[in-house]
Amino acid sequence: MSFIELKHLNKFYPISGAKDFQALKDINLSLDKGELVSIIGESGSGKSTLMNLLGGLDSQFSGEITVDGKKMSTFKDQDFVNYHKEKIGFVFQSFNLVSHLSVLDNVTLAMTLSNVDKKTRNERAKEVLKQLGLEEQYHKKPSQLSGGQKQRVAIARALVNDPDIIIADEPTGALDSQTTDQVLDIIQEIAKTGKLVIMVTHSEKVAARSTRVVTIDDGKIIGDVRQGELQTHENTFGLEKKAKSKNLSFFAAIRLALLNMKEKLGRNILIALGGSIGIMSVIVMLSLGAGVNDYLTKTMNANVNPLVSEVKMPIARGSNASSSVAADSSVMATTPAGTRPSGPPAGVTQSDPFAEENLQELRNIPHVAELNLAYTSFTIGSDNVIYEGSKYAFMTFGTTSGMTDSNILYGTFPAEGEILVTEGIANQMGATAEEAIGKEVTLSVTIDGEKLEKNYVISGIYTAGQSIGAFESVYISSESFDLLTAENNLEVKPNVVYLVSDDPKNTQAIKDEVATLGYRGSSADMLASTFTKMLDIFTYILSGVAGISLFVSAIMILTVLYISVVERTQEIGVIKAIGGRKKDIRRIFVSESFLIGLFSGLLGVGIAYLITVVGNIIVQNLFDTAILNMTPAFAIFGIVTSIIISMLSGLLPAQKAASLDPVEALRHD
Ligand code: ADP
Ligand code: MG
């Protein structure tokens, strides 16, 4: 039995809308090692079709091809891969060298796909290249070689895995007559080492140097002439049999991807830049959110006595007024109908007063060292400060219990007959904060439904801090308040309690216990949590917008990789012809998208870092605080996101590359 046997081989090409086209008609042929077979025939006679079938690039045929006793009709994908790796070497008319790989890398590619170690790989490739007279050319790119040199590199690539069969489709078609002779010498030499060389040619001269000439016409063999034997001798291309082949390693795939990306450096920098914008915006948004949050927390804490917890009665159920000021219902309290004589009908809300048992409960909370009673009210439109005949409305009225020095912007705490107002009220009165101090005003407040009026002197300017407490407010001391109510025969129970803790460390525990018991904490605390929630939502929305730019980058990467697949069609064909699996090709492309993602991510993080640094310098100058807080977690998140997005975008193009038909991919006309 011959090494290769073709029995009743037929090949039909499906033609859409027409009958299948029969390119090979009942071919019967036996070929043996040591033969140098020329296949000649006119263009379109079916020579390439036959070569593609012999080489296992095309597996659709009827009849049988038997190689070394194995029937090709029974081959699975992996059998074809092994066949390409171990049995077959291809030489093409148009060389099909991979342009971004060096001569050495082109020749070692097949071994790289088999995960042969670098040393063995390079030794073997250099050995073959040297025998083909290319020892000076290892590190050149194919574009730097002459046609004859390119074809010799291609032959070296075909030989390096020591195959049994060399298939050469018009190997001298693109060469001048002198280099044709050189290449034919080499091909003849290869056949002499006992390999089966099958060569398609147009040239009588080329055919004359072979041991056998098979003529094809219109898909049929019309001539088969033997013309002498070659003096076969031992393998001059003395390559030891290779070890059992493994598969393309992850690092080799990354290296191949890097080499390709280096070739198109400018384009890849642009892609990375485009991809980085989305990542950069997401990181900046997250940093902004975190920064503002930190800032708010800091500002709040700066204006809060670390020992004191403010407590109010829970909002009575069934209330209907609590949402009348939408943004912050928690500041307001309501009066359940019937518990108290009805107050002014509109706009007035009160916190419920504490009963003795409530105060007892609060006093019993662990770590409460002291309990200060206070009063506060929140009204809309009914409370005023009257100065020189004009009314200036304010919303919050209360006692100064629980305040710290940080609440006094100017002046002093109010003594008997004195009052604190906000800077806004002072300004409305036509005075600066400092000028307002010492002015005499009439306070007009509604307490328990009674309208009370009394003259006071402004002792200081109250501030609730920078971020909250925009409401205009007026405060008097507890003593002044008791006096004011007593003068009007009112008995007002405290509706705010300040719990002083024995240690700042215990304050939070007290606050937690207050919440557990069902009381309300400080309105500032509640405002803060409302604010934080709003800020979170805001951050999510902005991040969502940034996410859209991520989506755009993903589409961009997808497009670019598709283009890359088209550009690299020939390379993909070569990889398949030398035994690359679908998986290997997918891996090369996925590696490339991994690298794009990595670089985009790194670039995005870098730019985001610059923006936060510069942004903070600017904000620092304007507002005396940093507002962008980029954490390492954000940077890692950005890079990982970038890689994931890029790899996901790379999946489709990689799949497309992997499923390319090698015959299509290697067609060169
Ligand atoms: P050669 O290499 O001898 O010039 P080919 O083997 O390339 O010829 O082609 C043989 C015949 O098969 C031609 O008529 C060609 O048009 C046809 N053919 C080749 N490839 C295809 C294909 N993919 N689909 C349809 N017809 C094809
Ligand atoms: Mg052809």
Q: Is the CB of 41 under 6 A from ligand 1?
A: yes
251 inside domain: no
Confidence of residue 161 (pLDDT cuts 50, 70, 90): confident
Q: Is the pLDDT of residue 242 over 70?
A: no
Residues 163 and 24 both lie in one domain: yes
pLDDT cut 90: percent of the chain above it: 43
State how far the Cα of 496 lies from the Cα of 372, in Å rounded to an integer: 8
Residues 273 and 202 both lie in one domain: no
Confidence of residue 199 (pLDDT cuts 50, 70, 90): very high
Tokens 């590359």 identify what position? 657
Q: State which of 497, 520, 543 marks the end of a domain.
A: 520
Q: What pLDDT digit, counting tens, does each position of 628-657 carry?
A: 889 999 999 999 999 999 999 999 999 999
Q: State which of 486, 520, 554 marks the end of a domain.
A: 520
Q: For 194-208, 306-320, 643-657, which range has the lowest pLDDT when averaged over its residues?
A: 306-320
pLDDT of residue 233: 65
Q: Is the pLDDT of residue 334 over 50?
A: no
CATH code at position 35: 3.40.50.300
Residue 38 phi/psi, 5° resolution? -100, 135
pLDDT of residue 609: 95
125 inside domain: yes
Looking at all shown ligands, the one closest to residue 53's CA atom is 1
Higher pLDDT, 520 or 528: 520
Rounded to the nearest whole angstrom, what is the distance from the C-alpha of residue 328 to the centroid of ligand 1?
A: 79
CA-CA distances (angstroms) from residue 149 to 62, 136, 470? 38, 11, 82
Mean pLDDT for the stretch of residues 431-459: 91
Residues 230 and 267 both lie in one domain: no
Domain that holds residue 611: 263-297+532-667
Q: Is the pLDDT of residue 331 over 60?
A: no
Q: What pLDDT digit, counting tens, does each position of 61-98 carry?
A: 999 999 999 999 999 999 999 999 889 999 988 899 99
Q: Is the CB of 219 under 6 A from ligand 1?
A: no
State how far the Cα of 432 lies from the Cα of 417, in Å rounded to an integer: 21
Q: What pLDDT digit, counting tens, does each position of 547-565 carry?
A: 888 888 889 889 988 998 8
Rounded to the nearest whole angstrom, what is the distance from the C-alpha of residue 585 to the centroid of ligand 1?
A: 27
**Distance between first and last Cα of the chain:** 37
Residues 229 and 358 both lie in one domain: no
**Element containing residue 216 per DSSP (H, E):** strand 212-217
pLDDT of residue 29: 95
Q: State which of 493, 520, 547 marks the end of a domain.
A: 520
Q: What pLDDT digit, counting tens, does each position of 355-413 carry?
A: 888 889 898 999 998 888 888 888 887 899 999 999 999 988 988 887 778 788 889 99
Domain count, the chain: 3
Beta-carbon contacts of 233 under 8 Å, excluding residues fewer than 6 positions away, are 192, 193
Tell me the average pLDDT of the chain.
85
Confidence of residue 285 (pLDDT cuts 50, 70, 90): confident
Those residues whose beta carbon sits under 5 angstroms from the ion ligand 2 are: 48
Residues 562 and 609 both lie in one domain: yes
Residues 369 and 502 both lie in one domain: yes
Tokens 């809308």 identify what position? 17
Higher pLDDT, 524 or 31: 31
Q: What pLDDT digit, counting tens, does each position of 45-54 carry?
A: 999 999 999 9
State how far the Cα of 224 lies from the Cα of 212, in Å rounded to an integer: 7
Buried b (16+ CB within 10 A) or exposed e, 619-633: beeeeeebbbbbeee
Identity of the residue numbered 292: V
Higher pLDDT, 238 or 77: 77
CB 465, CB 295: distance < 8 Å: no
386 inside domain: yes
The residue nearest atom 13 of ligand 1, judged by CA position, is: 44
Question: Helix (H, G, I), strand (E, B), or coil: what is residue 77?
Answer: helix
588 inside domain: yes
Residues 494 and 382 both lie in one domain: yes
Higher pLDDT, 16 or 471: 16
CA-CA distances (angstroms) from residue 410 to 328, 418, 427? 28, 14, 14
State how far the Cα of 375 lies from the Cα of 98, in Å rounded to an integer: 84
pLDDT of residue 337: 39
Mean pLDDT for the stretch of residues 468-480: 81
Higher pLDDT, 227 or 334: 227
Confidence of residue 234 (pLDDT cuts 50, 70, 90): low
Beta bridge partners of 453: 444
Q: Is the CB of 608 under 6 A from ligand 1?
A: no
Residues 616 and 544 both lie in one domain: yes
State how far the Cα of 197 lies from the Cα of 200, in Å rounded to an integer: 10
Q: Is the CB of 173 under 6 A from ligand 1?
A: no
Residues 370 and 432 both lie in one domain: yes
Higher pLDDT, 61 or 348: 61
505 inside domain: yes
257 inside domain: no
Beta bridge partners of 385: 392, 443
Beta-carbon contacts of 505 under 8 Å, excluding residues fewer than 6 positions away, are none
611 inside domain: yes
Tokens 């006309």 identify what position? 669
Rounded to the nearest whole angstrom, what is the distance from the C-alpha of residue 191 to the centroid of ligand 2?
A: 22
Confidence of residue 343 (pLDDT cuts 50, 70, 90): very low
The order of strands in the sheet holding 196-200 is 88-92, 165-169, 196-200, 36-40, 212-217, 220-226
Rounded to the nearest whole angstrom, what is the distance from the C-alpha of residue 48 to the centroid of ligand 1?
A: 7
CA angle 147-152-158, nearest 5°? 130
- Do the strands 384-387 and 165-169 form a parallel or antiparallel pair, or are they unpaired? unpaired
Q: Is the CB of 349 under 6 A from ligand 1?
A: no
> DSSP assignment, residue 493?
P
Angle, in degrees to the nearest 10, between helices 523-567 and 632-658:
30
Higher pLDDT, 211 or 544: 211
Residues 582 and 605 both lie in one domain: yes
Rounded to the nearest whole angstrom, what is the distance from the C-alpha of residue 23 to the centroid of ligand 1?
A: 6
Q: Is the pLDDT of residue 235 over 70?
A: no
Mutate to test the pocket of ligand 1, among 27, 38, 40, 48 (most ligand atoms within 8 A of CB): 48
**Element containing residue 200 per DSSP (H, E):** strand 196-200
Residues 145 and 273 both lie in one domain: no
Q: Which two tokens stand for residue 658?
A: 């992997």
CA-CA distances (angstroms) from residue 197 to 158, 162, 489? 11, 13, 120
526 inside domain: no
Residues 187 and 43 both lie in one domain: yes
pTM, to two decimals: 0.70
